[in-house]
Amino acid sequence: MLIAIILAVLVILAAIVVVQQRQGQAAAPIIGVNRPYPPRPAPPPPGLPASDGMRAAVEPGPGDFVIGGILFNTKTIAQKYALLFAWAAVVIVFGFANSAFVNWSNVTTIFGSQSYIVVLTLGLILPLTAGDFDLSVAATMIVSAMTVAILNVWYEWPLLPAMLVALAAGAAIGAVNAFLILYFRIHSLIVTLGMQTLLHGIAIWISSSQTVTNVSFPLIKYVIVERIAGLSYIFFYVVILATVIWYFLQYTAQGRRLLFVGRGREVARLSGIRVDQVRAGALIACSMIAALAGILLVGGTGSAEPVAQRGMVLFAFAGAFMGATAITPGRFNPWGSFIGVYFLAFCVSGMQIVGAPSFVQDFIYGGGLIIAVAMSQLALKRQQQNF
């Protein structure tokens, strides 16, 4: 039974790859701007009969269908929502394997327990959009969590000042990353990899390798205890954050500049965009959102560990690249990342509930990252990426 379920999940992932490979139109680069479909021809002047070309433009073509006067294309729908359909398929497969998987309490537990990973991923897509990597996001989250717990429990600080200090620490980490990357022109992978190791050492140092427990209850209450329709407040915080980032990237001048910088830094610079300033802002915002994830992690567990969650950076990258194949294919986007993280989380939970060994989680997240990058490259027609 377990082998059959694993094969079913692999078939689902393979189906997504096939959909991406057979898409009818080339997607925009992951770090670039999404290309709209070509505009339809303008109608003829009043009094002149419509030509055959005009009727062909108005009438649905191959693969098109109309609902309520709105034209839809099956290839576009498959391309945008394949991951969402795969998520539903995973739920159905594991639901048949064990009915406890689709129990609402189990579903709400997954949504709540994985929310801080979604927050981490949402922060990560900002520098990724600009063409930078930040491998220090998970370590920043841990330092933030340790800061809140230590100040609140050991030094008896109120929650609000402790959380503000944690956010300020996140901003400082992002600023240091940005300075080293932009001033010394060091690749972001090298800088943030070193920062990740440094922050892990700092977390162990400030905590004396101890787990800090008994965080003030109001933080726990408004993160994980209070619920709406069985869903913890943390889930709704994630939805709000995803909405804000979506609006920022889609409808603000700063968000569009971020996309332009990611597509081509030299072109953006020649267009008058302050490329270094945009990249620095993305790195600082990413670290601050990672610090927010640390606050939510403390609220969700009531404690902070200096060596826990060190592998979360892989989960965040897997969710981000998986999300780049959905909703706005070929581009990092918040709702795609939201779906990508929960898709992987439901796969892991399903494997656990049917009795799979713990190392299957590594298979899913590691394999998911590789498959997600491959799918993204298929969306790019296997174009060479220069980060």
Q: Is 282 exposed, middle or buried (0-12, 13-18, 19+ CB in 10 A)?
A: buried
Question: What pLDDT shows up at residue 299?
Answer: 95
Question: What pLDDT shows up at residue 195?
Answer: 96
Question: What pLDDT shows up at residue 50?
Answer: 42
Three-state secondary-structure class, residue 305: coil
Q: How many whole angstroms separate alpha carbon 365 and alpha carbon 154?
A: 36
Domains detected in the chain? 102-379 (1.10.3470)
Using 50, 70 and 90 to split pLDDT, how confident is the model at 55? very low
pLDDT tens per residue across span 71-84 = 666 777 877 888 88
Question: What pLDDT shows up at residue 83?
Answer: 86
Chain-centroid distance, C-alpha 145? 20
Using 50, 70 and 90 to split pLDDT, how confident is the model at 16? low
Question: What pLDDT shows up at residue 11?
Answer: 53
Three-state secondary-structure class, residue 273: coil
Three-state secondary-structure class, residue 245: helix
pLDDT at 48 over 50: no
Task: Name 245's Cβ contacts closer than 8 Å, sequence gap at least 6.
Answer: 122, 125, 126, 334
Please report the DSSP string for 55-79 in residue order: HHHHS--TTEEEETTEEEEHHHHHH
pLDDT at 278 over 90: yes
Greater confidence, 381 or 141?
141
Greater confidence, 43 or 364?
364
pLDDT tens per residue across span 190-224 = 999 999 999 999 999 999 999 999 999 999 999 99
Q: How many whole angstroms separate alpha carbon 302 and alpha carbon 306?
A: 14
Among 370, 350, 374, which residue's Cα sits nearest to residue 361? Answer: 350
Min mean pLDDT across 58-72, 78-92, 131-145, 271-285 is at 58-72
Percent of the chain whose pLDDT exceeds 70? 77
The one-letter code for the residue type at 346 is F
Question: What pLDDT shows up at residue 13?
Answer: 52
Q: Whole-number mean pLDDT of the chain?
A: 83
